[in-house]
Structure 1
Amino acid sequence: MLGQVDSQRISPVFIGREAERSVLAAGLERAVAGEPQIVVVGGEAGVGKTRLVEEFLAAAREDGAVTAVGGCVEQGADGLPFAPFTTLLRALHRRLGGELIEAAGGRETELARLLPGLGDTGPATGPEPDRTRLFEATARLLERLARADRPLVVAVEDLHWSDRSTRELLGYLFRSLQHSHLLLVTTYRADDLHRRHPLRPFLAGLDRLRTVRRLDLARFTEREVIAQMTAITGAVPEPALARSVYERSEGNPFFVEELTADGATVRGMSPSLRDLLLVRLESLPDEAQEVLRTVAAGGPFVEHALLAETADCAEGELLAALRTAVGAHLLVPTPDGDGYTFRHALTREAVLDDLLPGERAQLSLRYARGLERAPHAVPEDQRAARLAGYWYHAGVREQALPAVLEAAVHARRRYAFAEQLGLLERALELWDAVSPAVRAGLRPVDYIWVYPGTGRGGALDHVDLLAEATMAALLAESYDRALAISRRALRRLDERREPLRTAWFWLQRSRMDNGPSRSDGRAELHRAMELVRGLPPSVVHAQVLALNAARQTSGEPVGPQMFEAAERALSMARLVEVESIELYARFTLACLHAEAGSTEDGVAEMGRVLQRVVDRGEVSLLGRCLVNSAVTLGEIGRPDASLEATERGFALADRFGLEDTKAWLAANRAAVLLLRGDWAGCAASVRLARERARSDTPQAAATVLAAQLALLRGEVPAARAALAAVRDGFRTPELRSDFLIALSRVELELAVHDGDIRLARELFRVATANGLPPFTASSLWGLFDAAARAESGTRGLPAADAGRAQAVAAIREAMAPAPRRAPLWAGLGRLVDVELLRAEGRDSAARWAEAVAGLEPLGLPYHLAQARVSWAEALLAEDGAAADVRERAVRLLVLARTAAEGLGAAPLTARIDQLAARARLTGERRPVAAPAALPPAEPAEPAGPDDAEPADPFGLTPREREVLALVAEGRSNRQIAERLFISPKTASVHVSNILAKLSVTGRGEAAALAHRLRLVPTGAPGR
């Protein structure tokens, strides 16, 4: 009916935007080549974002691409989540039919939450992991629909109106789409983004993604405005009129259209934006104006059937008014042809703003009643949210409360927890405003699903609603809101009369530990434990006991109390017959057995629990089982088995769509590969973990591993940057014990690099002050090794020698309870033992030979190379003149240097070269190059006759040896200059030359080397 309406107000020619079209075309080319692309188009209202996207999509379709468009709607805040994805998936379903079903790949149940009718959604029972499955299923569906010969281009418009769930799904797609022929285009209104707009941080995060391109549309130039006016009117405008339109519109294409429509009207019209937008509406007949007001109050779009139920006129009058509004280019048919929308959102906003007080409420009331009379007038997935919005804006609270609660249920079923929370907070706002009779008609079973085992029946009460809102806030990761809502509930509860309900809230509060101002949850969990003590068995009781048992494994060393807690949790779970809690407790108990020495039994039980979790599809438990299985195998000294478990975990995480679990697994794999010497694989796993992590802990673990790898490679600035990222980005007291120990190791090694052995010792003391937590063996042995090398590496430095005996004793004391049952930890234990003897000057070639023999079968190339270098050094110290000893030392150093070069371990390579140069060894894998001196900042003192020939293997001149002796005393450049009667700048040049010749990176390391290798006399100048 409306297809023949004249369109003279719109330019038939697409003006300008050549650069923007080129960017979009290039993105499509890359997508065709298999590299998915995202283009984010921003600009002020009316600048032409939609026109640009429409023109590009039309061109893409001509070239064979499949396209689909979905738009965000203002009602997203009222609980209409994922609206653009529902729209574009519907369009793809209409276009592709069975191909889309086939591409769903058996995930119709998850995808039905976005595209109703695709499958049976069922209840939402496995909150966050199932939500991740939905996101993963969407990503894989889009990837499968895109082909090289037929790329897929999807557009999501009006991100400034997007709900949080839509933004989170988009963010997931941006980060997880790989090797696909897909181009995703999004648009947003830049002038709507106030300082606290939720889209701002979302957009800021995109700049770090290499696949994302940003386009900011500028206004038209005066020449482009003239071209647009010419295309609209068919004639070149008079210069004065063109100049007037350009100045009044300021180059905004939409305003140019409005101003160009009638030259006579333009000259006399107010420049006010609202007047500009309403002037054409006010020139229409009253019937058309009334229909436009009705359409505006209905939402961003209104179906014809619903409008017919709502409009206060006969069908013929309605059609005539609609034809007039469309002919005036104020309304356009929706893409599916079922309804109407304003051609430009600015016009709708102006119409709404012009409504009289109470007028919108009356229109909303008519929509609510109309929708109740004709529920099938709108799509089923939108019905509850739109009805709730209509009743709420109509001010009919008795109808609004149950409608809002029903909409919250629908949001929960779609895993739109942020939108569910918003609706529940609206329900809490309405709660006291409705009559007791209305509240008495609400049943918990219809709206509440998070309050298990409390044994309550009857009507829904305020605390029930607070419980549901608390859980929604937790799942939406809105921890501040969860704290505030749960606090309200606890104020209303009497813990003496309702201890179980109170315990449930304290249990949830113990999980809210992800913020800088919150506790670690232990006190809250203890409170819940106290409340359930002595109560009859219940699901809440079992949950509290199970979480308490799991939390204990991250604290003190494994002891009888941990086994007792896990066994109590298991008994309670079996008593209340909830297998999910039983499996959780069984897994905790299995991990404890594996750590405490019953290795085979513990590992076997972990495998049985994992298989049962997979068979039952217990997605909420699967991530924990996959990650902890791999970690536990590593911590009991089985790195190969840990890698196998990790690879199986990746396969299951892919199958069930557990993206954050992949980040955990990648971090674990990186730790094992670092130990195994596959540093390239370690770096790749670190990148994967940091890209995929959705929570702090795996992100922090990967960052700490990145710092460790950087130090091993000699990349000190990179290690410092990673350390700063952990300290600045995460609340470190809340990180797991193994990560904190690994973090302390990085800080300790950096302190040694800076020559601050006292700080290094203090860091070790703090890290081991509370004993050795369970499941931290790999981190602990890394820390012990670093601390021992710190002491042996600074031997001979007076400032370090002073407290060395106490420091070595402290390391031995801390090591005493560390596990050595597995061959891996036994081998590392022998290495640390002899390193401590080296720190005391009591090591021997025989002890190093034992350490090497213990390490050789373990597959630890870096540690083995370390031990071989120290063995060679000990051999040379004991009998460096014997030919056979020198030959054996050369063989050891060649093996060590080959390994160090292969790993990229620059500091270890430098140590090998220094030892070879000092001992004047031949037969190295390749000759040791003489260190190049740094260019002096100013001419040094003239060389004397003694300076012609180097007096030692490093080429130090007599003057440089004098300077080195003062460096070994800890003197600054200024103090050296005063002692030797030279300028501070000359002293600085000498120090720089010395560091270069010794191939060291700091004064402390140079001083330690000087004492250890006897490069300076016993009495230094000036003593």
Structure 2
Amino acid sequence: MESALGGSVFVGRATELAQLTQAAEAAEKGESQAVLVRGEAGVGKTRLVDEFVRNLDPERAVAALGHCVEVGGDGFPFVPFTAVLRSLWRRMPDDVGAASRGREGLLARIVPDLEVPEGAFDRREDDAPRLFELIARILERLASRRLLVVIIEDLHWADASTRHLLEYLFRTPRAGQLLIIATYRSDEVHRTHPLRPFLAEMDRLRWVRRVNVGRFGRVEVAKQLDGLLGGPPEPTVLNEIFLRSDGNAFFVEELARVHRERSGVGLDDLRDVLLARLETLPETSQRIARVASQSGLVISYPLLRAVAGLPEDELIDGLRAITLTQVLVAEPDGTRYRFRHSLVREAISDSLVPGERARINRRYAEALEADASLVPADELTGHLAQHWYAAQDDVKALRMSVAAADAAGHRYAPAEQQRMLERALELWDRVPEDVRTSLPTLRLPDGYPDEGRTAVSTGPDRLDLLAIAVGAAWCSGSLDRALQLNRDALESMSAEHGPPPLRAAWFWVRRSQLVQDLNLGDGWNELRTAEDLLRGLPSSSVHADLLSYMADWSAQHRPGPESLAIAERAVVCANGVGTNETRLRARLTRALLSAESDPVGAGVAELYEVRQRAEALGMAEIIGRVNQYLPWVLEGMGRTDDAITAARHGIAVCRALDMADIEAWLHVTLSVSLFATGQWSESDAELDRAAATARSHRTRGAVAARRAYATLVRGDAERAAGQAAIARDLLGARDVEPQFLSALSLYRIAIDARRGRVDAAREEFLRADAEGLTRWPVRQALPMLCVAAWMEAEASSSSGPDVRSAKVLAAVRQAAAELNVVFPVSRAFEKLLGAELSRAEDADDPQRWASAGAAFATLGRPYELAVSLVGEGRALLRSEETRDAAVERFARAYDIASSLGANLVLADIAALTGESAAPVAVAATSPAPSPPRPPDGDLGLTPRETEVLRLVARGCSNRGISQELHISLKTTSNHVSNILAKLGASSRTEAAAIAHRRGLPVSD
């Protein structure tokens, strides 16, 4: 790789260079690394990366570079990875060939000039997961024996497909010595920039390193000028250049060269600075630069020769002058030229007058039409669409925009497909009717009705473009834009005389889904509108599509026998006239409804079948939905191990398909299952991953709600209340499904009760009961009933029964009697409810608690077991004869709660015994001797580690410990790591619990 800044000196950046070097060293140990390098345009990001690569040992490392390309605001799909793979293929053809063997045709989708065996070209649609995994496999193989550095420059111009692939590689650390570095302009990423969500997600991934390249200070500018000018700058020159450049390395260099070459010329305008060197060139060179500016940052020599219209000798002489002044620099492969900095290209492009811009772009388009080999095959339609549009040839721009949209869809690039379709829609009314009726064909959405087109039309009409654009915007995550495009389609049909009912219904069904996803309503009125449009018409795929979505809506909002009946109708209709996707969607909904009360497991078996079929056919929507629902259903049945396996399977699949929001939901589900089995640290990690991945308010609300519960059981009711409030705000009030409502009510009741706000908790419970949330879903209804019974038992023990308590307990018993309890985990909660109710009625029965504890122990649910043991111990304390048994129950509960970090249980034990070391305190009042407390040294810690542990147990952060003990953060971190290893603790919370249990004093 050559320096993009030519002969400029490398100044400063010791910290940033060290960060990249550390990442390389970690990668060489087999821990793949990802680094984001950010900084404003011209600040020196490329120079930093260039210096880093220059310092690598060529015997142990190989680097490959790819640039994102921007042409008129549109990025071309996968361009930087195409460049990277081409480079690696040229240098290591055997390794690339071995890694892609059997998948050469798939690889040719992104590197079209590969030599592919005859018949091997892969034309399967919707196969982004295979392509992404193939690229990951190639990189892993190449990184198995050497450090592989993949550099993606100018990420701010990346197309959505490149961003999705990069996110796929970033999210899952890869095997081997792989280091991926991506650079981007921070000043380009405005609030609505498409890169912003990607960066937000990456910021939440702890294993992604960030390197911020800032502006130079005065000292660094002086050093840079010393190297550029051949000696220390005059104070006046330094002052002027420092002030005008504001520390931007590129501007410092440009201003220094203007000062050196054109002494006395003013530096009044940035554009003048950027164009200053161009103005000193011969007219031929200036003409070449203006032509090159319309191709993008990089242009091949053959294309430039075809467009410039100059004799070859004159072209070469002009290029020589340009490269000598480094307006353009030659690429290492010797076939292409690159603008030395994109700011130069932008300034030159902006200096073109409108007629000149259109003329140059027309020449590009004509040259590409005459010789398609002038650009890579996968970029041809995109280039033509851009150049004909800039040339103001509406007819050809429309044709090529449609063709480019189809190509983008074929390459799994929905964002690019959406942009090309929107350009086609912009041009639609500018061209004659005969042009619109003879456009290239487009692949229409599955099940979209072929209705209402003109008899002479051979290609798509405007509604077709809108239908595909809605789907593309939806897939790319642009939900607001998808809704607007859908609205445009419906308004255009309503303005017509007699709108085609099948297509209108199809758009209303899509609107229903978008309204729900955007939390703008529940989507039912939209489905009813579609139903009205189809009334009286013969059965069609649109009927089946509508019925399947109505069944799904009922399953989510009004589950019960009526919903199951709708789902059965949907299956029958889909089997008759529906598409494969509609049939699977209907089966999925039916299985989801039946699985909730099916102890035999037929519904779950059907969910597995739907998952297998959808993944085999590559049906992205069904794949996402079935993988979302399956682990949730399994967890509700108490099949936690199966739920964990299904969730991890779904996470891998959704990550490959870039279904970030469903992946986030699966992380939440996995967190719930891990929490149930006592793996609380792993559960917390999954919630962190969910928060990093979630895109919608709904999923983010689910994360906050679950964090509220996890925080509560750790003993912090105030923070839990804050998380619950966040969850309510995120979930909103327009379309909150029962599963979310019941969870929110459950957590609110528990939090308010623990905060002593019993009246508020009672009010919330009675409201939830009136809305039917204590009847479904059973998995959340039973815990809610248990919490309500616990609350009244606590109230009764402190102030005695009253009218309000009796009302709540009556509602609890009535709801419990109506529940359909079929699974062992629900029966365990039913036993726990019975024990709490007996305590609330002053008939605390240790046998009921023991029965509940045994049920939870069988299911491997330690938290509920600890709760049951505390209840049994409390009941046994009622009699002097059973006090020893109570001590034993408390001791068991204490050990479980301490290992989990369940401070809520520890607080309950303390309240019963009057001491924080609960088992010891209870034993001291019984005939049994008090167990001895080991001295601090028995923990196996050094004196300094004991000091650190004492502060950890007090809740101090690493920074707080550093300040308290006057040691560095790194030293503190090392001490904490050593303590966790010596104690066998998986978290600071567990270490603190061990410190408390072993009697380590934590107060001064």
Please tell me the residue identity of whatever aligns with 2:413: A
SS at the partner of 1:446?
A: coil
Aligned with 2:41: secondary structure? coil
Q: What's 1:840 paired with? A: 841
Is there any run of 5+ residues in structure 2 with no aligned partner, and where?
Answer: 915-920, 934-995, 997-1004
Q: Which residue of 1 aligns with 2:600?
A: 599
Q: Is 1:103 aligned with 2:104?
A: no
Corresponding position of 1:485: 485
User: Paired residue for 1:56?
Assistant: 52
Give CA-to-partner distance per residue, 1:398-449, whole Å, 9 cap, x none. 1110111111112222222222212211111110011112112125x33544
Other-structure match for 2:330 = 333
Change (3 A) 1:803 1:94: same
1:707–1:746: 8 Å Cα contact kept in structure 2? yes
Matched, 1:84 2:80: yes
Q: How does 1:282-681 map to 2 (within 5 A)?
A: 282-442=279-439, 445-446=441-442, 448-449=444-445, 452-455=448-451, 458=455, 459=457, 460-494=460-494, 497-513=499-515, 518-559=520-561, 561-576=562-577, 578-597=579-598, 599-643=600-644, 645-646=646-647, 663-681=664-682
Deviates more, 1:80-89 or 1:380-389: 80-89
User: Could you report, residue by residue, the CA deviation over 1:529-573 in whole angstroms, capped at 9, with x for unpaired residues?
Assistant: 3323332232222221122222221233421x3233222222222
Contact 2:591 2:603 in 1 (8 A): yes
Amino acid at match of 1:466: L
Question: C-alpha offsets along residues 779-822 of structure 1, whole Å, 9 cap, x if unaligned?
Answer: 22221111111111122455983410111111222222222223
**1:313 match: secondary structure:** coil
Deviates most, 607-616 or 235-244: 235-244
Q: Distance in 2 between matches of 1:625 and 1:693?
A: 18
Equivalent in 67, 87, 112 of residue 71 of structure 1? 67
Aligned match of 1:994? none
Q: Higher mean Cα deviation, 170-179 or 544-553?
A: 170-179
Please give the per-residue CA displacement for 1:310-333, whole angstroms capped at 9, x wherever unaligned: 113222222222222222322112
Deviates more, 1:809-818 or 1:488-497: 488-497
Q: Which residue of 1 aligns with 2:832?
A: 831
Aligned partners of 2:4 and 2:46 also within 8 Å: no
Deviations 1:342-400 (A, max 9, x none): 22222222222222231111111111111111111111111111110100001110111
Displacement of 1:22: 1.9
Could you say which residue in structure 2 is the equivalent of 1:814? 815
Q: Which residue of 1 aligns with 2:713?
A: 712
> Structure 2 CA distance, aligned partners of 1:720 and 1:34?
42
Shift in CA distance, 187/79, structure 1 to aligned 2, threshold 3 Å: closer
In structure 2, do the counterparts of structure 1 residues 777 and 676 end up closer, same or farther at CA, with 3 Å as the change threshold? farther
Q: Give the corresponding residue for 1:908.
A: 905
Residues 735-750 of structure 1 mapped to structure 2, 5 A cutoff: 736-750=737-751
Answer whether contact 1:411 1:420 (CA < 8 A) is retained: yes
Letter in 1 for 2:537: L
Counterparts in 2 of 1:628 and 1:251: CA distance versus 1, 3 Å: closer
Partner of 1:922: 926
Mean alpha-carbon deviation: is it higher for 421-430 or for 843-852? Answer: 843-852
Structure 2 vs 1, CA of residues 838 and 275 (structure 1 numbering), >3 Å: closer, same or farther? same
Q: CA deviation at 1:924?
A: 7.2
TM-aligned CA deviation for residue 209 of structure 1: 3.2
* Residue 30 of structure 1 pairs with residue 26 of structure 2: yes
Task: Say if 1:638 and 1:33 are closer, same or farther in 2 by CA, change over 3 A.
Answer: closer
**Contact 2:451/2:500 (8 A) holds in 1:** no
SS in structure 2 of the partner of residue 714 of structure 1 = coil
Task: Return the alpha-carbon distance in structure 2 between the equivalents of residues 43 and 891 of structure 1.
Answer: 62
Larger deviation, residues 308-317 vs 222-231: 222-231
Q: Does the 8 Å CA contact 2:742/2:773 hold for their aligned counterparts?
A: no
Alpha-carbon shift at residue 631 of structure 1 (Å): 2.5
The 3-state SS of whatever aligns with 1:469 is: helix
Match of 1:781 in 2: 782
Structure 1's 852 and 152: CA in aligned 2 closer, same or farther, altered over 3 A?
closer
Q: From the superposition, tell whether residues 140 and 531 of structure 1 become closer, same or farther in structure 2 (CA, over 3 Å).
A: farther
Q: TM-score, normalised by structure 1?
A: 0.82
Alignment partners' CA distance in 2, 1:155 and 1:605: 45
1:291 is displaced (CA, Å) by 1.4
The structural deviation recorded for 1:175 is 2.9
Do the aligned partners of 1:886 and 1:921 also contact (CA within 8 Å) in 2?
no
> Which residue in the other structure is 2:250 paired with?
254
Note closer, same or farther for the CA distance 1:166–1:615 as it changes in structure 2 (3 Å cut): closer
Query: Which AA in structure 2 matches 1:506?
Result: W
Displacement of 1:239 in angstroms is: 6.5
Task: Report deviation, 1:246.
Answer: 5.2
Closer, same or farther in 2 for the Cα pair 1:526/1:52, shift >3 Å?
A: same
Does the CA-based 8 Å contact 1:66-1:152 persist in structure 2?
yes
8 Å contact from structure 2 (residues 785, 816) kept in 1: yes
What code does the residue aligned with 2:473 have? A
What displacement does 1:52 show?
2.0
Q: In the alignment, what sits opposite 1:977?
A: none
Q: Count the aligned residue pairs.
A: 915
For the pair shown, which has the larger CA radius of gyration, 1 or 2?
A: 1
Distance in 2, Cα, partners of 1:121 & 1:449: 24
Q: Displacement, 1:98?
A: 3.2
Superposition TM-score, scaled by structure 2 size? 0.83
Maintained 8 Å contact 1:473/1:479? yes
Q: CA deviation at 1:759?
A: 1.1
Distance 1:317 1:646, change over 3 A: closer
* Rounded Cα–Cα distance in structure 2 between residues aligned with 1:685 and 1:63: 40
Q: Sort the Cα spacing of 1:287 and 1:226 in 2 relative to 1 into closer, same or farther, 3 A.
A: same
- More deviation, 818-827/461-470: 818-827
When residues 491 and 648 of structure 1 are mapped into structure 2, their CA distance, relative to the original with a 3 A threshold, is closer
3-state SS of paired residue (1:512): helix
Change (3 A) 1:623 1:241: closer
Q: Which residue of 2 aligns with 1:954?
A: none
> How far apart, in 2, do the equivalents of 1:237 and 1:99 lie?
51
Between the aligned partners of 1:512 and 1:476, the Cα distance in structure 2 is 13
Matched residue, 2:941 = none
Tell me how far apart the structure 1 counterparts of residues 328 and 508 of structure 2 sit (CA, whole Å): 53
Deviations 1:643-692 (A, max 9, x none): 45446656766888876655444433332343344434433443444445
Q: Which amino acid in structure 2 is aligned with residue 477 of structure 1?
A: G
Q: Which moved more, 1:13-22 or 1:215-224?
A: 215-224
Instruction: State the 1:486 CA deviation.
Output: 1.2
Q: Which amino acid aligns with 1:473?
A: A
Deviation at residue 234 of structure 1 after TM alignment: 5.2
Give the distance between the partners of 2:103 and 2:621, measured in 1 at CA: 18
Deviation digits for residues 972-1019 of structure 1, max 9, x if unmatched? xxxxxxxxxxxxxxxxxxxxxxxxxxx9xxxxxxxxxxxxxxxxxxxx
How far apart, CA to CA, are the structure 2 residues paired with 1:251 and 1:891?
70
Report the Cα offset of residue 512 of structure 1. 0.7
Distance 1:923 1:353, change over 3 A: farther
- Larger deviation: 362-371 or 638-647? 638-647
- Whole-Å separation in 2 of the counterparts to 1:284 and 1:854: 86
Identity over aligned pairs, percent: 39
- How much has 1:847 moved relative to structure 2? 4.7
Structure 1, residues 10-63: CA drift from partner, whole Å, max 9, x if none?
Answer: 536433333322222122112222333333333343333222222211222536
More displaced 10-residue stretch of structure 1: 672-681 or 541-550 = 672-681
Q: Distance in 1 between matches of 2:614 and 2:443?
A: 28
Q: What letter matches 1:69 in structure 2?
A: L
Given that 2:597 and 2:820 are in contact with CA atoms closer than 8 Å, whether structure 1 keeps it comes out as no
